């Protein structure tokens, strides 16, 4: 599937000697500057993918840690997190859509050897993030409990989780800027900076979380709200680190005083690319809201079991997104350098590496779903739903491996329409109707919803690969 590399290894580009793979891993973590359009392809993928995979692994650890502590507070607390995430999913769709446009433009400018243009695009990404955060923060802080009620959360969940939702949405500027700026660093080929940001932010959250949830020592016992406070503090510190890294220039990207102005032309370009990107992510993420609405009538235990299972699934999918992000960066930079064939070659290699990782993770989840879920909650009802969800959804990991990489490759090329249409067809026109049909008329309950997730993501992979092979993404102008 992948043709042999054509790049010639010169002394400065050759693979490190010595212990081979681990020498390259250490090299990737040092954060050195590289021209990813000239390096041998395998080395370029590894240097980008290692910090990106570790960055997403930090998100996985964060997601699991939060739900681990909150799960000790009962089903209503878990449901609070799940319902709040339904709201945040909509926010994330806008953030991730904007990030697609910003990252694609930064990658093209770096590939064209225009660091000043990349820096100006980074500043516009921050401007858009702040504007969006202002709207979300004010709305969430004022109407958090009402938003929970609008999602048909029970009175007990609204009472337990109202403050949690207010804090998470009110402090959303931290997660919005964290994601936007990290996307810019990835597009610039500086994944090491993004990794260090999440190590710092999530490290603080992991330490503070249990202290504030349970009131350890001098810390107040805030219950589920403590998880939101810890998250906001950790991510806020991470954003401060990002801004400092942009100012002093720790990689290919450095923002100087002359770049600090609103550039309407670049803003328009980001928004043009992001319009379909936002719709693309909105379709994908709100499909989860639709699925949860189908599960909700089966009670808090079903919502809680599904919430735990999806956090565990994310534990594997987040690192896999790291490999997909590496492919996206290579596509953008190589198209900018006028090397479309090398861009395509990078995608097939990255997808194969992803297949190996996700295949192993999926097998473990299928075989050991019940003991894994039991580590989070031993309630028989929650355990039953959670283990079923984990086992069924994980069965499709081999398909997801290719689907994730190909989707991000389209975005890295600036072709945001193709994955948008794929998401619309596979999630809203296929997954949601199948979930309702299996869960309600056919009587499978939540298991029908879990099966629909498997079918939806598998369809996305098959359709995505077929369209990617056509190669129209190579002609997109950014």
What are 91-113's pLDDT values in tens digits? 887 888 888 889 989 998 999 98
More confident residue, 404 or 61: 404
* 409 is a domain residue: yes
Per-residue pLDDT at 402 exceeds 90:
yes
- Give the pLDDT score at 19: 52
Please give the full DSSP string across 11-47, using - where no structure is assigned: TTTSPP-SSTHHHHHHHHHHT----TTTS-HHHHHHH
- Give the pLDDT score at 17: 41
| SS3 state at 4 | coil
Per-residue CA distances from 112 to 35, 272, 332, 337, 472 (Å): 11, 20, 10, 6, 21
Tell me how far apart the alpha carbons of residues 175 and 178 are, in angstroms, rounded to a whole number. Answer: 5
Question: Do residues 335 and 111 touch, judged by C-beta distance below 8 A?
Answer: yes
Tell me how far apart the alpha carbons of residues 197 and 241 are, in angstroms, rounded to a whole number. Answer: 7
The predicted-structure confidence for 147-170, as pLDDT tens digits, reads as follows: 888 877 778 888 877 888 888 889
Q: How confident is the model at residue 288 (pLDDT cuts 50, 70, 90)?
A: confident
Q: Which of 73-87, 258-272, 322-336 has the lowest average pLDDT?
A: 73-87
* 10 is a domain residue: no
- Give the pLDDT score at 475: 86
Tell me how far apart the alpha carbons of residues 288 and 423 are, in angstroms, rounded to a whole number. Answer: 12
Q: What is the pTM of this model?
A: 0.74
| SS3 state at 328 | helix
- Reference 389, options 459, 295, 321; nearest CA is 295
User: How many CB atoms neighbour CB 393 within 10 A?
Assistant: 27
* 137 is a domain residue: yes
Tell me how far apart the alpha carbons of residues 352 and 354 are, in angstroms, rounded to a whole number. Answer: 5
* 187 is a domain residue: yes
* Average pLDDT over the chain, rounded to an integer: 87
Q: What is the CA radius of gyration of the chain?
A: 22
* 11 is a domain residue: no
- Give the pLDDT score at 249: 80
- Give the pLDDT score at 3: 38
* 20 is a domain residue: no
Per-residue CA distances from 263 to 103, 106, 119, 138, 336 (Å): 16, 14, 11, 26, 21
Per-residue pLDDT at 271 exceeds 50:
yes
- Give the pLDDT score at 16: 41
Which structure tokens are listed for 5? 């590399």
Question: Do residues 78 and 301 touch, judged by C-beta distance below 8 A?
Answer: no
Domain range for residue 179? 40-475
Q: How confident is the model at residue 78 (pLDDT cuts 50, 70, 90)?
A: confident
* 31 is a domain residue: no
Q: Which of 70-74, 183-187, 368-372 has the lowest average pLDDT?
A: 70-74
* 30 is a domain residue: no
More confident residue, 203 or 67: 203
Residue ranges in 112-154 assigned as alpha helix (H): 115-150
Per-residue CA distances from 395 to 90, 389, 391 (Å): 27, 10, 6
Q: How confident is the model at residue 4 (pLDDT cuts 50, 70, 90)?
A: very low
Which structure tokens are listed for 137? 């923060």
Domain count, the chain: 1
The predicted-structure confidence for 298-336, as pLDDT tens digits, reads as follows: 988 898 899 889 888 988 888 888 899 889 999 999 999
Cα–Cα–Cα angle for 186, 192, 197, rounded to 5 degrees: 90
Q: Which long-range contacts (CB under 8 A, 24 or more apart) does 292-299 make?
A: 292/82, 292/83, 292/86, 293/151, 293/152, 294/432, 294/435, 294/436, 294/439, 294/440, 294/449, 295/439, 295/446, 295/449, 296/152, 298/445, 298/446
Which structure tokens are listed for 178? 């964290």
């Amino acid at each position: 599937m992948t043709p042999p590399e054509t790049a010639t290894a010169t002394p400065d580009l050759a693979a490190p000697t010595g212990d081979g793979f681990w020498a390259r891993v250490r090299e990737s973590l040092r954060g050195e500057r590289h021209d990813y359009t000239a390096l041998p392809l395998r080395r370029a993928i590894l240097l980008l993918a290692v910090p990106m995979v570790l960055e997403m692994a930090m998100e996985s650890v964060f997601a699991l840690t939060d739900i681990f502590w909150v799960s000790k507070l009962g089903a209503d607390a878990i449901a609070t997190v799940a319902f709040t995430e339904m709201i945040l999913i909509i926010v994330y769709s806008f953030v991730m859509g904007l990030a697609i446009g910003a990252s694609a433009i930064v990658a093209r400018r770096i590939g064209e050897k225009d660091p000043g243009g990349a820096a100006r695009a980074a500043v516009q990404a921050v401007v858009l993030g702040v504007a969006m955060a202002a709207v979300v923060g004010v709305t969430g802080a004022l109407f958090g409990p009402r938003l929970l009620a609008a999602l048909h959360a029970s009175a007990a969940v609204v009472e337990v989780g109202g403050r949690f939702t207010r804090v998470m949405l009110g402090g959303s500027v931290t997660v919005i800027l964290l994601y936007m700026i990290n996307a810019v660093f990835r597009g610039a080929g500086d994944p090491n900076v993004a990794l260090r940001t999440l190590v710092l932010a999530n490290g603080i959250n992991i330490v503070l979380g249990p202290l504030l949830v349970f009131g350890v020592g001098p810390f107040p016992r805030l219950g589920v709200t403590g998880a939101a406070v810890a998250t906001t503090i950790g991510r806020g510190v991470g954003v401060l680190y990002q801004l400092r890294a942009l100012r002093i220039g720790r990689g290919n990207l450095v923002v100087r005083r002359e770049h600090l102005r609103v550039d309407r032309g670049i803003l328009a370009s980001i928004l043009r690319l992001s319009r379909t990107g936002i719709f693309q992510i909105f379709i994908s993420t709100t499909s989860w809201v639709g699925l949860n609405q189908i599960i909700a009538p089966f009670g808090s235990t079903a919502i809680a079991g599904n919430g735990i299972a999806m956090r565990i699934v994310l534990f594997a999918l987040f690192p896999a997104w790291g490999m997909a992000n590496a492919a996206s960066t290579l596509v953008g930079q190589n198209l900018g350098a006028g090397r479309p064939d090398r861009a395509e070659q990078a995608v097939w290699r990255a997808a194969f590496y992803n297949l190996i990782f996700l295949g192993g993770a999926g097998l473990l989840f299928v075989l050991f779903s019940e003991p894994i879920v039991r580590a989070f909650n031993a309630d028989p009802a929650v355990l039953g739903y959670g283990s079923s969800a984990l086992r069924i959804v994980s069965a499709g990991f081999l398909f997801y491996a290719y689907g994730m990489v190909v989707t991000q490759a389209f975005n890295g090329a600036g072709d945001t329409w193709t994955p948008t249409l794929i998401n619309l067809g596979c999630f809203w026109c296929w997954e949601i109707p199948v979930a309702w049909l299996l869960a309600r008329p056919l009587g499978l309950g939540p298991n029908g919803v879990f099966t629909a997730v498997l079918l939806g993501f598998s369809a996305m992979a098959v359709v995505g690969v077929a369209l990617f092979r056509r190669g129209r993404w190579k002609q997109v102008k950014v």
